[in-house]
Amino acid sequence: MSDDAASPTRALTFPGQGSQAVGMGVALAERFPEARAVLDAVDEALGEKLSALMADGPEDALTLTRNAQPALMAVSIATLRAIEATTGKPADQLGAFVAGHSLGEYTALAAAGTLEIADAARLLRLRGEAMQTAVPVGEGAMAALLGVDLDDAKSYAADAAAEGGVCDIANDNATGQVVVSGSKATVERAVAIAAAAGARKSIMLPVSAPFHCALMAPAADAMAEALASVTLRRPDVPLVANVTASAITEPSDIRERLVEQVTGMVRWRESVMWMASQGVGELLEIGSGKVLTGLVRRIDRSVSARAIGSPDDVTAFAGAITG
């Protein structure tokens, strides 16, 4: 008899850029035909063997924004299909909400049936290219401010931008982990201001573009045009949107929030807190890596987190909810 009914309400979460790794998805595709079918569908949608790059690298090519974004979506949906096949439960029976970090929001929408996998792959390829070309290489930067709360980070960013350039809050990831993004010199000023104010540590991030800031406006315009021509269905599971940190279900709202997300702040800390306020007691991180699982533990220790990315993870989870 299943003990699933006694389990805490779950939400399904999907990682963002930085979680990619050469070899991701290979074991899943070998074990589960449903996972293999997802990778094949993404290859067909893009007209190239992205799955081969995921399997064999090289790492620098996989890390390119135009490749990493659709690749991470592909491996997450492949993992979800393996979970669905093994448990006999569709996504709307596995979680009460879906959410994804930045590009992971597109994955969440594919998981919830709002986007076709092929459309998600093509949109993420376009999104990656548009974000990469919005700012010339070397002119933008991002930095993680550690041991800093959101209000202080906003103050440091504003002080830095007052001297010229752009510095916005890109990610409110967890308590004491806020990422700023913008013009390189301005972000460096924000780091210096944070250090002078007693920030525990600040790290310049190895990124190719300043994501989630005002400099991404050309990419937002490109996504608005692309999304206008794509059919979005009402999700089977409500989406907790990055820019609102609350659930939305109307396709028109989803389209607008996806455009806003390109330049807007990823409110991940608040999103986790909102889901917890709705009775979610367990977050599943589906796909490559364990970044979101680590963040949950820093946001709310009353919420458990579980990363599912390998065939063994899939079978262990299926056993836990059906055994």
Give dist(CA 15, CA 22) in Å, integer.
Answer: 16
Give dist(CA 106, CA 268) in Å, integer.
Answer: 15
pLDDT given at position 4: 47
Nearest to 177 by CA among 211, 141, 147, 199: 147
Consecutive H or E run containing 144: strand 140-146
Strands of the sheet with 97-100, listed across from one edge: 247-248, 239-240, 97-100, 9-14, 280-286, 304-308
Strand 280-286 with 9-14, pairing: parallel
- Cite the active site residues: 102, 212
Mean pLDDT by 10 residues, the chain (323 residues): 53 96 98 98 98 97 95 98 97 97 98 98 97 94 96 98 98 97 98 96 92 98 98 98 98 98 98 97 98 96 97 97 75
pLDDT given at position 242: 98
Q: Are 46 and 122 in contact (CB under 8 A)?
A: yes
Residue 24, by phi and psi: left (phi above 0), alpha (psi -120 to 50) or beta?
beta
pLDDT given at position 6: 38
Structure tokens at 215: 């400099």
